[in-house]
Each structure stands twice: as structure tokens, then as C-alpha cells.
Chain A
């Protein structure tokens, strides 16, 4: 299941890459600018520092971590920052990563239940980012 999702995500990324304009850097930059304009100050600081930002689900109050990327980049996390579940969903269009992340943020904040109903679930990589090993998130020690 995970392998199939991974292959599908890779195929989508490849397709989008081929369809993108002759100026991919400009498109990526525009997407990044739009994302940064719409993130809250806290989310922007978190994204700048770590390459991800947290979003609170509008229906359940659960916390989701949106990592830089365009597919398989949303992970539900517990109060200690530990991965609970991965959620794969994206706009049905070839968009740059900044746009996809912004769309995912808005979807979870404004229509969490409807978004998760169409999303595919995957088992996230539970290993912490190498740069964060040994650091505490809340009271949880990353190993």
C-alpha cells in the first residue's frame, strides 16, 4: 500500500514537472511567496526554521504537520510532535509545492472532515529529522 502510494506520488510529481512552464524557478518562487503571505506569523517562523509548519484541524483540534513538498507531506502529530498518521491529499492540478502546502493548510483549517474523507492514509516515517535527534519536543525525547 505504502509502495503504491509512493509510486503514485512520484508519478504525479514527474507529470507536474514535465507540464510546468519553461521557467520553473519563477513558478516555485511565486508559490513560495504566496504561501508565506498566507501563513500566520507563527507558522511562517516555524516553516522558515524547520521546513514544516503546524496546522490545527478546524473540526477536531488535532495537530497536523505540513512538510515542504507536494505529496505525502502531511502528518498528524501528537502533543509531543510524534507522528500518528500520514495523510495524502492535494489539489487536482499541477501546482508548485508552495501552492500545494497552502492549499493543504486551508483545507485542514476550514474543512478538516471533508478533506480527510478524500485523503489516503499512509504510515509516516516515525524517525525524527537527523538534525533534531536528541532534542526534546515538549516532554518527549527524540531518539
Chain B
């Protein structure tokens, strides 16, 4: 099971999907493309807790976090 976490006004919205289910993985990939296309940054953590930004969908990532585009305050 993997999770896509999208930051939003409710805190976050989580989309869980079964990495063994091809249809669910395809849907997750579509969500990845839609969100990054809208300017969201996708970030994952490795085993040591280090965060990296990814540009393409990683079906093996346990958690992918989507952050809205930044602006200066």
C-alpha cells in the first residue's frame, strides 16, 4: 500500500493505493501528473528520512507529498 498526500486547507487529503493493482497504480500516476502539472512539488522520503523532490512518478514510494507552488510573502 502506498499513499499520496496532498496539502490543502483541511490539513491534507490522502489517497491510498495498492502498488500491486495495475489499475490503481495507473490512477495514482495520473494524479501525480495532474498535480505536478498544476505546479505542485512532489517530495518523497528515503529510509534515512532524507527528503528529495521527484519529477516523475515513483510507484514504489511509500509516501509522496504534494506541496502547492510557492510565492513570496
A binds B: yes
**Nearest-Cβ distance from residue B19 to partner chain A, whole angstroms:** 20
Is B73 a contact of A8 with CB atoms below 8 Å?
Answer: yes
Q: Mark A73-91, 1 if CB is under 8 A from B, else 0.
A: 0000000000000001111
Q: Mark A5-29, 1 if CB is under 8 A from B, else 0.
A: 1001100100010011100001111
**Nearest-Cβ distance from residue B3 to partner chain A, whole angstroms:** 11
Q: Which residues on the A side are within 8 Å of B41 (C-beta)? A: 106-107
Q: Which residues on the B side are within 8 Å of A94 (C-beta)? A: 9
Q: Which residues on the A side are within 8 Å of B70 (C-beta)? A: 89-92, 103, 107, 115, 118
**Nearest-Cβ distance from residue A31 to partner chain B, whole angstroms:** 4
By size class, the interface of chain A is 35 or more
Q: Mark B1-14, 1 if CB is under 8 A from A, else 0.
A: 00001011111100
Chain B interface, >50% SS class = strand
Interface residues in A83-115 (C-beta closer than 8 Å to B): 88-96, 98-99, 102-103, 105-107, 109-111, 115
B25 on interface, CB distance cutoff 8 Å: no
B26 on interface, CB distance cutoff 8 Å: no
Q: Which residues on the B side are within 8 Å of A95 (C-beta)? A: 7-9, 68
**Nearest-Cβ distance from residue A71 to partner chain B, whole angstroms:** 5
From B9, B69, B73, contact of A9 by CB (8 A) = B73
Q: How many interface residues does B have (CB within 8 Å)?
A: 23
A135 on interface, CB distance cutoff 8 Å: no
From B11, B69, B73, contact of A34 by CB (8 A) = B11
Is A98 a contact of B43 with CB atoms below 8 Å?
Answer: no
Give the nearest-CB partner of B52 in chain A. A110
A21-B10, A92-B39, A95-B68 known, 16 other contacts, Cβ within 8 Å: A5-B73, A9-B73, A26-B10, A30-B10, A31-B12, A34-B11, A34-B12, A89-B71, A92-B71, A95-B8, A96-B11, A106-B43, A106-B51, A107-B70, A110-B53, A118-B71
